[in-house]
Homo-oligomer: A and B are copies of this chain.
């Protein structure tokens, strides 16, 4: 066959990645075999290796794209509305997004990613730096909020950044991995609690 266009190549890669993403989300990295991906994608063994040089590479490329998309959510802050409004909406949206099966899978993949990566020193470093970026993005927004007077000036931003990201993850983790139902009320209570802290209403 003649050379595929870049577009065709990317589409093929995307297809494989999409299928692999589903399997990884469901079974985790170690328990997913290349055969699983072969079956799910309909692409032959060798075919997959035309696009990725190892199972790990597939996993990492998925992480690359998925984790990026979460971060980008934050990039778009409406300039006019208050930061406190934005954050409340953002937190709520993140939690409620899990109602969508697709986002649930992303969450599962994400936890699997951290579990896998945490056992590999080299990868871990990359993952940490990704987290740091996410963290500093958040801090930047919090700072902006403080400056605008939307958030409390008493905040210990660095540490609150940790608390926010960690507890948000926890809310998702419990629902996505542990399979414990998260109700809308739980989400609301959580966001209220967080925003009270951030707005200094306690």
Contact = CB atoms under 8 A, between A and B. Distances in A.
Interface residues of A, number: 49
Q: Within the oligomer, what is the number of copies of this chain?
A: 4
B163 A171 contact: yes
Interface in A98-137: 108, 111-112, 114-115, 118-119, 124, 127-128, 131, 135
A163 B27 contact: no
A179 B124 contact: yes
Given A160-B189, A167-B170, A178 B119 contact: no
Contact of A114 (B26, B27, B167, B177): B177
A174 interface: yes
**Most interface-central of A174, A175, A183 (chain B CB within 10 A):** A174
Given A118-B179, A170-B169, A178-B131, A196 B190 contact: no
A186 B170 contact: no
A75 interface: no
A124 B179 CA distance: 8
Interface string A27-49: 11011000000000000000000
B171 A167 contact: yes
A78 B183 CA distance: 32
